[in-house]
Amino acid sequence: MRVVLLGAPGSGKGTQGKAVVEKYRVTDIATGDLLRAEVAAGTPLGLQVKTLMETGELVPDDIVVGMIKEHLAKDDTTNGFLLDGFPRDLPQAETLDAMLKNIGQPLDVVLFFKVDYGEIMKRLLARHRADDTEDTIRHRLEIYEAKTKPLIDYYKNKGLISEVNGIGEIADVSQRIFTILDDIAVARQARN
In this structure, what are the phi and psi dihedrals at residue 103, rounded to the nearest 5 degrees? -100, 5
Cβ atoms of 136 and 145 closer than 8 Å:
no
Alpha-carbon gap, residue 58 to 165, rounded angstroms: 26
The helix (run of H) or strand (run of E) holding residue 113 is strand 109-114
Beta bridge partners of 81: 2, 27
Active-site annotation, residues: 13, 88, 127, 129, 140
| Ramachandran region, residue 84 (left: φ > 0; alpha: ψ -120 to 50; beta: rest) | beta
Cβ atoms of 26 and 49 closer than 8 Å:
no
